[in-house]
């Protein structure tokens, strides 16, 4: 019985070391954005870092960088995606707290956000959009939802990442984007299986 228990402990320990070699702190990170019913000028951003520290998955030596941008300043967000300084250029809001409240006189229907969590020598950068639906403001979430944004450099790269075929591309205003157009910004890709995704694309196509 003791040998069996020792074997289980050794196997578990080796498995943990193996997993630690394969995984990074960034793979555990989850970003949240929440609103409250009736609130038309703020939402809260946060992550699951506290629970990750409690679980022993990451260390407690963490730095946080939150930044918000107008949706038409998406290029500024991309330019600063690995700028770990405590201040930012051309952003409309920033914070170094683990969770904080973004406030505005009137919430835009789309606010671009950047989170950088610096932990264990890794910089985990996450681009996402916070969507505000005024018609749902009285719901428990205040009409706030979150949409992650993948980063790509060209249409060809987008194709290479998926076996699905792109049948249409739209901008954030719902206008169809022609294949020959050169656009830097967030685009919505519609696939032949009925799915869709939002991606930041530079030098499109």
How does pLDDT run across 156-201, given as a tens digit for each residue? 444 444 567 777 777 766 677 776 666 666 777 777 766 666 666 6
Model confidence over 27-43: pLDDT tens digits?
888 999 999 999 999 99
Q: Is 57 helix (H, G, I), strand (E, B) or coil?
A: coil
Percent of the chain surpassing pLDDT 90 = 32
pLDDT of 176: 79
pLDDT at 179: 60
Confidence check: pLDDT of 44 > 70: yes
For residue 175, what pLDDT is reported?
Answer: 75
- Give the sign of the dihedral formed by CA 125, CA 70, CA 79, CA 159: positive
What integer best gives the mean pLDDT of the chain? 76
CA distance linking residue 176 with residue 188, whole number of Å: 9
| pLDDT value for 180 | 61
Whether residue 106 contacts residue 40, with contact meaning beta carbons closer than 8 Å, is answered with: yes
Q: How much is the pLDDT for 144?
A: 94
Distance CA 128, CA 199 (A): 10
Would you state the pLDDT for residue 69? 93
The pLDDT-based confidence of 6 (bands split at 50, 70, 90) is very low
Distances (CA, A) of 104 to 26, 40, 108: 29, 9, 9
Phi, psi at residue 38, to the nearest 5°?
85, -10
User: Is the predicted pLDDT of residue 63 greater than 70, yes or no?
Assistant: yes
Q: Which domains does the chain have, with CATH numbers?
A: 26-148 (2.60.40), 152-204 (no CATH)
Q: Is the dihedral of CA 31, 37, 40, 42 positive or negative?
A: negative
Closest among 196, 53, 77 to 129, alpha carbons compared = 77
- Count the neighbouring beta carbons within 10 Å of the beta carbon of residue 167: 11
Encode pLDDT of 67-95 as tens digits: 999 988 877 887 787 788 888 888 999 99
pLDDT at 138 over 70: yes
Residue 2 has pLDDT above 90, yes or no: no
DSSP class per residue in 176-188: BPPTT--EEEEEE
| Residues 80, 125: Cα–Cα separation, whole Å | 10
Q: Is the dihedral of CA 175, 181, 183, 186 positive or negative?
A: positive
Q: Binning pLDDT at 50, 70 and 90, where does residue 17 land?
A: very low
More confident residue, 28 or 144: 144
> Helices then strands (H, E): number in the chain?
4, 12
Q: What is the DSSP string of 70-134?
A: EGGGHHHHHHTTT--SSS-SS-SEEE-SSSEEEE-SS--SEEEEEEEEEETTEEEEEEEEEEE-G
Q: Across 40-44, 54-58, 127-131, which has the greatest mean pLDDT? A: 40-44
């Amino acid at each position: 019985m003791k040998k069996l228990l020792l074997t289980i402990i050794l196997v578990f320990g080796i498995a943990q070391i193996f997993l630690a070699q394969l995984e990074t702190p960034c793979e555990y990170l989850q970003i949240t954005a929440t609103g409250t019913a009736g609130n038309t000028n703020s939402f809260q951003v946060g992550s699951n870092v506290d629970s990750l520290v409690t679980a022993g998955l990451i260390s407690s030596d963490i730095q946080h960088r939150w930044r918000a941008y107008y949706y038409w300043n998406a290029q500024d967000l991309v330019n600063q995606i690995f700028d770990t300084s405590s201040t930012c250029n051309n952003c409309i809001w920033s914070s170094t707290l683990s969770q904080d409240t973004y406030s505005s006189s009137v919430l835009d229907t789309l606010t671009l956000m950047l989170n950088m969590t610096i932990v264990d020598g890794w910089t985990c950068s996450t681009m996402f959009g916070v969507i505000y639906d005024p018609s749902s403001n009285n719901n428990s979430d205040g009409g706030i939802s979150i949409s992650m944004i993948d980063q790509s450099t060209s249409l060809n790269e987008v194709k290479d990442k998926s076996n699905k075929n792109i049948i249409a591309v739209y901008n954030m205003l719902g206008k169809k984007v022609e294949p020959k157009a050169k656009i830097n910004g967030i685009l919505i890709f519609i696939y032949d299986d009925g799915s869709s995704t939002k991606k930041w694309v530079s030098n499109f196509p």
